[in-house]
């Protein structure tokens, strides 16, 4: 089966799993896609299981502004096939936190030089104005820390500087991502625990 046939087969399967109620709810929450079938993450993983990891297929799916295609792309992209430049490009194109989380979990934490990717994302020119970019960096660093992967010194400075600002965000998703990331980093790297504790103290939290 060539890529075009796989794309057609995947899109036909969407009709089997579509959930109009979930799709409507997502639209009300501001998720803006050309098309959103409301398919659950579990069902998307089930669809993905029918296909081998395939970079060309994943890239075609990612290029389609359909929620389910974006998420399937993160499930089918082989991490070894993704360069740092492509990883940053995907992050900058991610349309929602849901997609960012799937991208981090399925691909980014496994790409070559993933630790340096955190710093690359945070140093992007648009990072100050793009909350999803920073959320991606926090989620990625959190995953890496929980796997015992150390933070490069340059990335650590960028991470703590960015976290020092975002920890005061009124966005609950942002606050949760920052706190979880910092606690994971402190657990994994005692040499950074004092600097992390100073950031957490600014909102009255003690390092646990």
Q: What is the pLDDT of residues 137-192, one digit of tens each?
A: 999 999 999 999 988 888 899 999 999 999 999 999 999 999 999 999 999 999 99
What global pTM score does this model have? 0.89
Alpha carbons 141 and 146: distance in angstroms, whole number: 8
* SS3 of residue 40 by DSSP: coil
Q: Phi and psi of 66, rounded to 5°?
A: -125, 130
With bands split at pLDDT 50, 70 and 90, how would you rate the model's confidence at 202?
very high
Of 169, 168, 200, the C-alpha closest to 183 is 200
Q: Phi and psi of 191, rounded to 5°?
A: -70, -15
Q: In this predicted structure, what is the pLDDT of residue 38?
A: 81
With bands split at pLDDT 50, 70 and 90, how would you rate the model's confidence at 205?
confident
pLDDT (tens digit, 9 = 90+) per residue, 4-58? 999 999 999 988 877 665 565 556 555 666 677 788 999 999 999 999 999 999 9
DSSP code of 205? P
DSSP code of 109? G
């Amino acid at each position: 089966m060539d890529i075009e046939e796989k794309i057609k087969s995947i899109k036909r399967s969407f009709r089997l799993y579509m959930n109009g109620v979930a799709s409507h709810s997502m639209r009300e929450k501001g998720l803006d896609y050309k098309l959103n079938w409301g398919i659950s993450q579990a069902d998307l993983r089930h669809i993905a299981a029918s296909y081998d990891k395939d970079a060309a297929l994943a890239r075609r799916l990612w290029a389609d502004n359909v929620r389910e295609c974006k998420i399937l792309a993160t499930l089918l992209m082989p991490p070894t096939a993704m360069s740092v430049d492509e990883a940053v490009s995907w992050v900058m194109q991610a349309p929602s936190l849901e997609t960012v989380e799937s991208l981090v979990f399925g691909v980014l934490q496994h790409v070559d030089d993933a630790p340096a990717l955190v710093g690359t994302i945070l140093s992007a020119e648009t990072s100050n104005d793009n909350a999803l970019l920073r959320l991606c960096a926090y989620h990625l660093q959190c995953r890496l820390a929980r796997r015992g992967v150390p933070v490069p010194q340059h990335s650590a400075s960028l991470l703590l500087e960015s976290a020092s600002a975002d920890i005061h965000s009124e966005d609950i998703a942002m606050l949760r991502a920052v706190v979880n990331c910092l606690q994971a980093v402190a657990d994994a790297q005692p040499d950074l625990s004092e600097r992390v504790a100073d950031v957490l103290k600014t909102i009255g939290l003690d390092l646990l």
